[in-house]
Amino acid sequence: MTTETVRADDGATADVRLYRRTDDPSAPVLVCMPAMGTRAAAYTPLAEALAGAGFQVAVGELRGQGTSSVQAGRGVRYGYHEIVAYDLPALFRTVAAAFPGAPRHLLGHSLGGQLGTLYLSQEPHMAAGAVLVGAPSCHYRGWPFPRSLGMLAGFQLAAAFSSAYGYFPGRRIGVLGNDSAQILRDMATQVRTGRYDVPSSPVDFEPWLAKLDLPVLAVTVKGDGMAPPAGVRGLSDKLTSARVTHWELVLGEGVPGSRHYGWIRDAASLVERVRTFVDRA
């Protein structure tokens, strides 16, 4: 594994973790994007499993997390716009240069899958397909009642608190990681409206998502309360021009922790399914 620095057009930087195959430099590349509040380093078991199965891998970093030069704090402002318009284009350009001639596929987890899909709706030529794992539309109606009302109220409260506090202190309160108040505002808007027309971005992504013409594997993790089946379909149903395949990942009973993250360390069946998807794509 090696790292390279990704420099966005607005000057922000972050490392990308690269797993190359010197024996087969044309092998497909999976560009992994993390969930909200999650460092790229947390995906090391997944990256190693994918590399062991013959893939090349690039693990990116969400702005504000891990090796990102931008860290959440009072007065630090970034939202969906900065990640989609600056970070992801720079990441995919870096990956294209690092793996010349190799087909690229997005492998996005949760918010990483959502934002990766928004990016590909703008630059679909940068990937041959997308694998979305536990990546729901955050519209509150994707959760069963009464949790749906908890989602709606919780995110509006979190956005309001973050705005007043200056940022979202997730590590201090034990919910995800630290993040920008603007990220919470964008997410709260999408939770409420169901639309990817968020405050930080001048782009209404809804018509662009409908035009995205790529093969997509939408993965629901059984028992994942953070990305229930209706939520996952809430995102994939927006991709009306894409060739979407739905698949449920069932984890072993002994996998510790949340199902939303447990698959990262129990990835064998997912890796096999991704191999089938990539070969067909």
* Helices 147-165 and 181-193, axial angle in degrees (round to 10): 150
**Structural domain span for residue 126:** 2-137+204-280
Taking only the tens place, the pLDDT of each residue in 186-196 is: 999 999 999 99
Question: Is 24 inside a domain boundary?
Answer: yes
Question: Could you tell me which residues come within 8 angstroms of residue 237 by beta carbon, excluding any fewer than 6 positions away?
Answer: none
Taking only the tens place, the pLDDT of each residue in 150-161 is: 999 999 999 999
Question: Is 22 inside a domain boundary?
Answer: yes
Nearest to 235 by CA among 113, 107, 106, 87: 113
pLDDT of 100 higher than 90: yes
Average pLDDT along the chain: 96
Taking only the tens place, the pLDDT of each residue in 35-47 is: 999 999 999 999 9
Question: Is 12 inside a domain boundary?
Answer: yes
Question: Is 18 inside a domain boundary?
Answer: yes
Stretch (H or E) spanning 268: helix 268-280
Question: Could you tell me which residues come within 8 angstroms of residue 146 by beta carbon, excluding any fewer than 6 positions away?
Answer: none
Count of the separate structural domains present in the chain: 1
**CATH code for position 239:** 3.40.50.1820
Taking only the tens place, the pLDDT of each residue in 261-270 is: 999 999 999 9
Prediction pTM value: 0.96
Question: Is 150 inside a domain boundary?
Answer: no
Beta-strand (E) ranges in the chain? 2-7, 13-19, 29-33, 56-59, 104-109, 129-133, 215-221, 243-249
